[in-house]
Structures are given as structure tokens and as C-alpha cells.
A and B are shown apart, each in its own frame.
Chain A
Amino acid sequence: DAGVTQSPTHLIKTRGQQVTLRCSPKSGHDTVSWYQQALGQGPQFIFQYYEEEERQRGNFPDRFSGHQFPNYSSELNVNALLLGDSALYLCASSGTAGYTFGSGTRLTVV
């Protein structure tokens, strides 16, 4: 049973560029959440998608947007990248019980 799959594993982008990160949830899970984890910090909630709609959003600017597809997979898009967007981006899926996290995408903005 595959867990949560995130791609790519690592990514280097230049300031001002746009990036798309992808997440496939664990089989049987219909809800996907995204978190940003800066170095030495705990993860911060970005948003959660359920039934292809953004159900809840954290304190992140509109440069951060997302999408959920009918197969429950999800994308996180970040526009106009800033150096401060460098972080580990974690996807978590959930169903009726508990969260399963992916291994994350390490984004470096130079």
C-alpha cells in the first residue's frame, strides 16, 4: 500500500520564478493538506483540499495556491518566488483516521 508520494524530491529555482509541487495521497485518503517547514522550525499549515475545494487556509499570501484533482492528488503552486520561500514542503493526506505525511519536496530559491 503506497503511502503519500511527493515530487520532485529536490528543486532549485530563481527568485521571481514559479514552481509547482505535486502530491499523490495514500490509497483511501480523500483529503490533502500542505505544510511549509523552514529550517529548524515546525511545519506551518498552508491549506487543505477536500472534494476539489480549498477547505481551510493558513496565514500564507495569495502567491501560494493549490488544486485538487478528481483522483484526490494535489498540486501546490507558488508564484513570484522569494528567497524566504526556501523550505521543505510537506504534503499530508487523511481520511477517516489520522494523517500520513510524504517525504517532502526541498525547495531552494536562489
Chain B
Amino acid sequence: SQQGEEDPQALSIQEGENATMNCSYKTSINNLQWYRQNSGRGLVHLILIRSNEREKHSGRLRVTLDTSKKSSSLLITASRAADTASYFCATTQNSGGSNYKLTFGKGTLLTVNP
């Protein structure tokens, strides 16, 4: 079953605008990661935020985590046409040393129009 739910399911913006995607999850987590997927191919790791962190930056990416609301957001600033892809959040659960899997949401399809 899916742990996370991304919102919105689809987002269309113009090049240069900012894109914000949200993710909600159900259980307590060790960390939350964001991935990008182009055209149904492999996933590319973007950024990881640990459960004791609130905000993290990497280049044009900014991720926030609110564990009290069980939610995260991914902000892409100054978007480019090349940012067009599906974006997924994935969590690892905080259930001791025996849970290694990533649990993904259904993803947000971002389209950046030139």
C-alpha cells in the first residue's frame, strides 16, 4: 500500500516560475526522500531529509518537513523545461532495525512549458 500521497497529482507551469509539490504520509518515519522520474524510466534521487530536520536546500530545490502534520513539500525555484518529470516522495519508516524499504506516493506530474 502507498504510504505517501502527493498533491497535486498534476501541475503545469511556465518556465521561470516556481513549482511546489506536497507529500503527506501516515506513519512515523526515519527520513523522507524526493525522487524524479522522466518518462517512466529510472528514479533519480534528489534530496533526503531526516525526521529531525525541518528544512533542507540543494541547488534550486528546497524541502521542508513537518513531522507533526506528517507532511513535506518540495519547492523547485526558477523552473526549466528540463524539470518536466514525475516527482515522488518516499519514506523509510521508524520501526526499529528491520524495515529497509522505501514506501512511495503516487507522484506529481510536473510540466514546465517553455
A-to-B contact residues, CB < 8 Å: 4, 31, 33, 35, 37, 39-45, 48, 55-56, 58-59, 88, 90, 92, 98-104, 106
Decide yes or no: A88 and B101 within 8 Å by CB, A42-B2, A42-B107 being known contacts.
no
Q: Which residues of the partner chain B approach A101 to less than 8 Å between Cβ atoms? A: 35, 42-45
B104 in contact with A42 (CB, 8 Å) = yes
Nearest Cβ on chain B to A68's Cβ, whole angstroms: 14
**Contacts of A45 on B, CB cut-off 8 Å?**
101-103
CA distance in complex: A91, B3 (Å): 20
Return 15 A-B CB contacts under 8 Å, by A number. A4-B42, A33-B101, A41-B106, A42-B2, A42-B106, A45-B101, A45-B102, A45-B103, A56-B100, A56-B101, A59-B1, A88-B40, A88-B41, A92-B102, A99-B102
State A56–B99 Cα separation when bound (angstroms).
7
Nearest CB on A from B93, distance (A): 11
Neighbouring A residues of B43 by C-beta, 8 Å: 43, 90, 92, 101
Nearest CB in chain B to that of A3: its residue:
B42
Name the distance in Å between B29's Cβ and chain A's nearest Cβ: 15
